[in-house]
Homo-oligomer: A and B are copies of this chain.
Amino acid sequence: MVNWFGRRRRVVVPRLRSRGEGAANVNRVDLAELTPDVLRFLAQAAYVQLAVFESLTAALSLAPAASSKESIARAAELSLGKHRGIVAELGRLRADAGREMERYAGRIDGFRAATTGADWSERLVGAYVTAGILDDFFRRLATGLSDDEVAARIEAVYAAPSGSELLQAEIMVAIEADDGLASRLAMWGRRLVGDTLLIARSALALPPSGHPDEARLEPVFTELIAAHTRRMDALGLTA
């Protein structure tokens, strides 16, 4: 149904970049131009971290070993730490964090449910891919927050260790133990990207019409996808 972000690799309009161009920023749209007001930003970013915590812990009952369970619990805890760091900013603004997050809970919970895999490795890849893209996204988006001090503290939250390396290690053990798994996980990873970018898109400050210039958004998502591709490469999987 949704085709607003073209995953095509070559685009027709000259000002857009192809996926492979990495950090080149000719004619780029700065994501910071699309940063919503601070409450919207913080509430969504905070709830996303809580959702990542929940996704990771939902894998625990399928862990192949006690040590894997420990490792994923640790990764989950790192997301909860980010959540808490973001919620602290809501507290500084004297906002009711629960109420602010609640506005976005239904949508993000639906996203989480849709990106929960059927087994241990799918659940880990689900969290690895979605948290990878969304951390990248919110971190970039934070640079456009109107208050520089808030922006700096949020940057510090995202600069803290994430659980991605812990996930990567567990996923690679699973892949090594099962010949057919890599291709299944690569396919699963592709399916996750669309839903994840929709959640990212919904967090942007867009025109009231809800019909932004899609061509302007394209470069933003091209960058996110390029970073996602590198994360899949790190697993030995083709994005």
Contact = CB atoms under 8 A, between A and B. Distances in A.
Contacts of A50: 66, 69-70, 73
In the assembly, how many copies of this chain are there? 2
Interface in A29-77: 47, 50, 53-54, 57-58, 60-61, 65-67, 69-70, 73, 76-77
Given A73-B53, A80-B73, A98 B67 contact: yes
A105 interface: yes
A200 interface: no
A124 interface: no
Interface string A77-103: 100100100010000000001110110
A73 B98 CA distance: 13
A87 B70 contact: yes
Main secondary structure of the interface of A (DSSP, over half): helix
B60 A98 contact: no
Contacts of A54: 57, 60-61, 69, 73
A134 B179 CA distance: 41
Contact of A65 (B60, B61, B98): B98
Contacts of A61: 54, 58, 109, 113
A109 B77 CA distance: 21
Given A54-B73, A57-B58, 17 more contacts: A50-B69, A50-B70, A50-B73, A53-B57, A53-B60, A54-B60, A58-B58, A58-B61, A61-B113, A65-B102, A66-B97, A66-B105, A67-B98, A67-B101, A67-B102, A70-B98, A73-B83
13 contacts: A50-B70, A53-B57, A54-B73, A57-B57, A57-B58, A58-B58, A65-B98, A65-B105, A66-B102, A67-B99, A67-B102, A70-B97, A70-B98
Interface of A: 47, 50, 53-54, 57-58, 60-61, 65-67, 69-70, 73, 76-77, 80, 83, 87, 97-99, 101-102, 105, 109, 113
